[in-house]
Each structure stands twice: as C-alpha cells, then as structure tokens.
Amino acid sequence: MCGIVGYIGDKEAAPILLENLKKLEYRGYDSAGLAVYNRDKIEVRKAEGRISRLEEILKGEEPKGSAGIGHTRWATHGRPSDINAHPHADCSGEFVVVHNGIIENYLELKEWLESRGHTFRSETDTEVLPHLVEEFYKGNSSNGGFELAVREAIGRAEGSFAVAIMSQREPDRIIVARKNSPLIIGLGDGENFFASDIPALLAWTKKVIVLDDGEMAILTRDGVRVSTFDGDLVTKDILDIKWGPGLIEKGGYEHFMLKEIHEEPRAIRDTLAGRINGRTGEVTLEEFELDADYIRQLKKISIVACGTAYHAGLVGKRVIEKLARVPVEVELASEFRYSDPMVGPDVLTIVISQSGETADTLAGLREAKARGSRVLAITNVVGSSVAREADDVIYTWAGPEIAVASTKAYVAQLVSLYLFGIYLGRRTGTLNASDSKRLVEEIRQLPQHVDMLFGRHEERVRDFAKEFAGCEDVFFIGRGLDYAVSMEGSLKLKEVSYIRAEAYAAGELKHGTLALIIRGVPVFALATQLDVYEKMLSNIKEVKARDATVIALAFEGDETIGKLVDYVIHIPRVDSLLTPVLSVVPLQLFAYYAAVARGCDVDKPRNLAKSVTVE
C-alpha cells in the first residue's frame, strides 16, 4: 500500500505535494518522492526514509513549478531505497509515474520491454509503466499521443493500480487512472488535485470526484475530464465532503482498528495477487523454491512467532499437516529460543511476524539458523530485520497496520499459510491438482465473503458487544481450527477491551473450567469444523446446561444449531480448512465494539506496543 498525490494550478506544487503526502503517511513511510514540471523539464527528487527526510533534503531547494506528482511508499517489489522510491521514469526521462498497487504481470512486461531496448533502473514493478508509455508513444507522438499511449499502457497492466503520469512535452496536464486501488480527485478554482485518499485533499477543497475502477482522468488547471480506459466519456458526481479533522487519516472510520478490519478483503486480494496461475490454479511463490531433494529430506516444520502471529501459526499447523502431511510444531518465539529446540537442516523453520522486528521472533530465527535450519519468513514489512535475515520470504500484502491490535495482518498471514500449504502439498504429492484447484478457487472467493459478513453481521455484532460490554468474563470455545481461531478471538477481546477472556478447546472444558461457566456468561461457540460438528454440539449443550449465553458461529444453512443456542452468526459455507478467515471477522468486530462501548483507547491499548523490540 502506498499513497499518491498530485497538483496542477498556479501555486508552487512542491510544498503542496509534501503537505498532502504527510496526510497519507499511514499508507506507507519507507521512502518518498516527487516530480515537478520545472520550466522545460520534469525534475524528480526522491529518497529512502520518511517524508520528513525528503522535506529536509529539499529544504530551500524545492523544484519550482506549478504541476507535480508525489508518492509515499510501502515497499512491495524491491526493497526500500533511493532508486526504488517513486516517481519512476522511462529511458529518456520524458514520462514520469507514481503508482499505488501491484502490477502482477510486470516480469513478463519487463522482459518484453527489455527485448525492445528499454533499460530499467529499479527493482520495482512500477517502472514498467513509464517504459510502456514511452514504447507506445513512439510513432504516436502527434496531438493526443500522450493520452493514447497511457491508455495502451494501462490496458497491458494486470493487477491493481492507482497511477499518475506526467509528460515532459505536455506540461499542462496530468493523467491519472484507477483499477482496484483508490484514487480521488479534488476540484479547486483554477487548480485541481488528486490523492489516494480524501484526507490529503481536505485542506484545499471539499469537492471531490471518486474515480471508479476502469476509469482515467486528465487533470488540467481548468478542468477534469473523466473517461473509461476505452475512451468513453463519463459524467461523475461531485461529492461535498463534510468530515471533521479527527476522522481524516482514518478514511472516515473512527479508529484504525475498524478501518483495518474493513481492509481485510483487500489484504486478501493483494496477498493472493500474482501467486496463483489463473489457468492451472497452481500456486506459484516466485520468491522461493523448495527443490525435490530438500522436500524429500524434510522431517518437520517448526513455526515460531508471538501474539497474533503465533495464533496464525496454530492455523498454519493444521493446514500444512492436512495438505502436505509434514509434521508441524508451533512454538512461542520467547519459549522456542530457550528450549534447546530440535531443529536442524532437515527442519524448515517458518517465522511469522507482522512487523518483522519482534525481538523474540528475530532471536528465534537466529537460533534456528545457527542450528542449520532453513528459515522462511512470513512478514508484512519489506526490508524488515526478519525479512533480511531469513533465507526466504513470503510477504503478506496487508499494507501498513497502525492499530496495535493486529487484524488484517492476521488474515493475510492465514492466506499466506494456505498458499504455502498448497504449494508444499503439490510437491509432497499429497494434494492432487483438482483438489488444489478447488481450494484455490474457494480462497479467491474469500474477499467477497468477508465483505458480505460486514454487510450482514456488523450491526448485530455491535449490538452484542454493547450488551456484553459490562461482563467480567467471556469464553471462546471450538475444536480443531475453530479452537485456533477462538484463541485469537479471545486475545483480541483482552487486548483492546480488557475483558477477561478465555479460549478453550471445546472438548477440554469438561476436564477443566466448566465450573466457571455460570448463568449468563457469554460463550462464543465456533462450530464450523464439520468432522467434529456433532461433538461440538455436545459441548454446546454442556455450556447451555449451565445457563451460559451462547453465540454460535456456524455455516449458512445450519438449522440445527439455532435451536440450541441464544444467537447464531452464520458464515458462508466454505471448505472447513478456510473458515478461520471468515470466523475471525465477527470476533474482531466484537472485540472492537466492546472496547468502544467501554470507552477504551482502541488503537493504543494499555501496556501494549505494536512491535516489541525487546526480549
């Protein structure tokens, strides 16, 4: 996730671009850059680091000019560096581009462009765009050629993008286009703006146009012309934004946590992007390859992580064991390191970390490496310590997570573990092509299922949360993967609302804490694992017999469970292996709304840090 901005008018562009970029820093902050049309050429300035660093570098030397584009980066393809920072240009420096999103077919396009003589400077996927425009502009440089070249270029790009392009020969226009990444145009008087998000525009104008997927626009000082990628003109509604300043970086949400829960469908899509072969349904993890000899000698997988990432690991264990039939152990990183762990060359260690900087996880990674184990990192931050020190990396593309309690990163970790499980299962021979294809198809449907959960259940969950916000104890029970998700649901509630919560393997209640289940205690009972469904019903009866208030999570069409419990939240019917991605959503929302009802500081809970860099 990155942020892009632009300005064309009669004021100096650079200070406006910098100001507006700062409002988008939540979208990424590992490097920043801008391009301004300065007299007869486009001047590009960019640097690794936060926007404030770029500002310092430019102090007193901002490029002069009244049209420009800017970018704040959250590295995806290519580590954070001066070269990989945006804007990017073609060979001649004539076309300059900023981009938010992922060009999935960039390798193919890059090869083609290189065969036609283009030279690339960065490791980014974005750089194919200015080169494509350059390529299509050749022989098309008459009037309107810039626009035609852009149309042709974006027509070739697959994936997601919000993109802005300037041409040295056409200083009085900026072209923007959108597919699957947000882009908002701000309308001024004799000046126009654009940005990835409304907050970056509000200091200048309240009148905005929201571009839809498949639309592009040409911004000049006096107007904005919107058309489809095919060139048909589109008449857009002009919206009048009435937000107060508090809601600004949160994109209209009251808290980052809620915003990030709502970003889960996008996090899933981005994490899948480019990793599934659309034709065969096979998973391709271009980042690494486990060869046949390595897999043959592989005795065990050891997953090491903390907090929410550890809970993702618990799901990963079941998934990998089921699909690839390789034994998996999951250890808390803080325990692993001092446990004289049994890992070596025949064990693959997977470390999972949103931030990639958690000291315990990093120490676990080093311990595993020191014992000769190959280490695969699943992390959300490009260039983080964990990413740099691991042998291989699978990035989760959840985008920056600001709220301390992890939500969208957890979901993206689950998706990465599914991809890994399928990848390994195909190579150990335990997952056949048709089962893999079916599973992949179901995974691709998950984003729309999550969207549907928001639509159908968010208000109800908010009501439950208000009703139970005064409770002292809440229980979460489930079997198999439902138990793993119960642990995450319980952690989320404790982290943000400070309500004591306990997750229990449903079959284990009777061996332990059943005495704590008394009249009115809320129990979330997850019943999505069909192989243990009947057993789960028995466990639900056990808690109902003690007068607990039971909220069940079950598949749509399950008529039985409603007769046993007080409330049911139905989730779409998917393969039981995939339910964690769906069942965790109501639990995250419950934790969020319970915390709000109790007046807690949701995004910065007491005594917790987003990234704990001490052991």
Q: Which residues lie near ligand G6P (CB under 6 A)?
A: 306-309, 353-355, 358, 361, 404-406, 608-612
CA 561 to chain centre: 34
Cβ atoms of 304 and 413 closer than 8 Å: no
Tell me how far, at minimum, the Cβ of 150 lies from ligand G6P, in Å: 39
Structural tokens at position 524: 């979330």
Tell me how far, at minimum, the Cβ of 149 lies from ligand G6P, in Å: 42
- By C-beta, is 416 or 576 nearer to ligand G6P? 416
Tell me how far, at minimum, the Cβ of 404 lies from ligand G6P, in Å: 5
Tell me how far, at minimum, the Cβ of 358 lies from ligand G6P, in Å: 3
Backbone region of residue 39 per phi and psi (left: phi > 0; alpha: psi in -120 to 50; beta: other values): left
Cβ atoms of 107 and 128 closer than 8 Å: no
- By C-beta, is 38 or 361 nearer to ligand G6P? 361
- By C-beta, is 387 or 446 nearer to ligand G6P? 387
Tell me how far, at minimum, the Cβ of 611 lies from ligand G6P, in Å: 5
- By C-beta, is 359 or 530 nearer to ligand G6P? 359
What residue has token string 């900023």? 98
SS3 of 359, please? helix
Q: Give me the torsion for CA of 489, 491, 496, 499, rounded to 10°.
A: 90
Q: How many CB atoms lie within 10 A of CB 416?
A: 26
SS3 of 387, please? helix
CA 497 to chain centre: 24
Residue 324 to residue 319: CA distance in whole angstroms: 8
- By C-beta, is 518 or 609 nearer to ligand G6P? 609
Catalytic residue among 300, 544, 604, 610, which? 610
Phi, psi of 43 (to 5 degrees): -105, 125
- By C-beta, is 218 or 257 nearer to ligand G6P? 257
SS3 of 42, please? strand
Q: Which residues contact 320 (CB under 8 A, 6 or more apart)?
A: 301, 326, 328, 417, 420, 421, 424
Residue 82 to residue 59: CA distance in whole angstroms: 18
- By C-beta, is 238 or 608 nearer to ligand G6P? 608
What residue has token string 């390191």? 337
Tell me how far, at minimum, the Cβ of 379 lies from ligand G6P, in Å: 8
Longest dimension (CA), the chain: 81
Whether 535 is catalytic: no
Residue 542 to residue 252: CA distance in whole angstroms: 43
- By C-beta, is 31 or 353 nearer to ligand G6P? 353
Tell me how far, at minimum, the Cβ of 503 lies from ligand G6P, in Å: 15
Cβ atoms of 15 and 5 closer than 8 Å: no
SS3 of 600, please? coil
Tell me how far, at minimum, the Cβ of 258 lies from ligand G6P, in Å: 16
Q: Determine the residue with CB nearest ligand G6P.
A: 307
CA atoms within 13 A on the CB side of 286: 12
DSSP conformation class of 283: B
The amino acid that residue 106 corresponds to is Y
- By C-beta, is 84 or 353 nearer to ligand G6P? 353
- By C-beta, is 545 or 608 nearer to ligand G6P? 608
Sheet holding 549-555, edge to edge: 500-505, 473-478, 522-527, 549-555, 567-571
- By C-beta, is 191 or 495 nearer to ligand G6P? 495
Structural tokens at position 315: 């799901």
- The CA-based angle 241-247-251, given to 5 degrees, is 75
Tell me how far, at minimum, the Cβ of 522 lies from ligand G6P, in Å: 23
Whether 2 is catalytic: yes
Residue 270 to residue 77: CA distance in whole angstroms: 12
The amino acid that residue 245 corresponds to is P
Tell me how far, at minimum, the Cβ of 311 lies from ligand G6P, in Å: 8
Structural tokens at position 353: 């970390």
Catalytic residue among 2, 259, 492, 494, which? 2
Cβ atoms of 471 and 522 closer than 8 Å: yes
Q: Which residues contact 459 (CB under 8 A, 6 or more apart)?
A: none
Q: Which sequence positions are flagged as catalytic?
A: 2, 610
